[in-house]
Amino acid sequence: MRISPATVRAERDRVRDNERVVPLINSTRDRLAVAFDTDVGHVTDEQYEREVDAVFADGDVAVNVAGLAGLLRDLDVEGDYPGFVVDELLGRELAATIAGGQPLSLLAEATFHVADVYTHGDAAEAAGQDDLDAALAAGFQTRLPGWAWTETESPFAVPPE
């Protein structure tokens, strides 16, 4: 794999134009809302596109997101099961990278598994494609607003004296 600024730009465009991600974000949020007995706002296409642009505007993050996404897009292991571990590892890492630092990166990794369970790729696609979609959904749904706890100040913050 060779990554250049042009590669990163092309990957940004592919991620931005992936029409499967926003519906997957919203269905994942619906499942999590039921599991945690809470309301979670849905994400619009415009919110997703703006957030993709924000992730790719940070070159250090963008190169890693592009590399992980490219690996997943092309990953196909004969018989699929032996590749299960590597596509899960790459998917978790991609979701965490998109989400940002702790605690969001850990939440995105956990959310990746929820999204992945309900994501099934086309038989003609590489096995890693559904993990790519799940990782994008998990990472972006974690960064985007809609969760009440992320929209208020933490009660654990200690103000400077």
Residues 23-41: tens digit of each pLDDT: 999 999 999 999 999 999 9
Q: Residue 108 corresponds to which tokens in the numbers above?
A: 């995105």
Taking phi over 0 as left and psi of -120 to 50 as alpha, with beta for the rest, 158 belongs to: beta
For residue 127, is pLDDT > 80? no
Residue 17 one-letter amino acid: D
Cα–Cα distance, 77 to 5 (Å, whole number): 28
The domains of the chain are located at: 5-150
Residues 63-112: tens digit of each pLDDT: 999 999 999 988 877 766 666 778 889 999 999 999 999 999 999 999 99
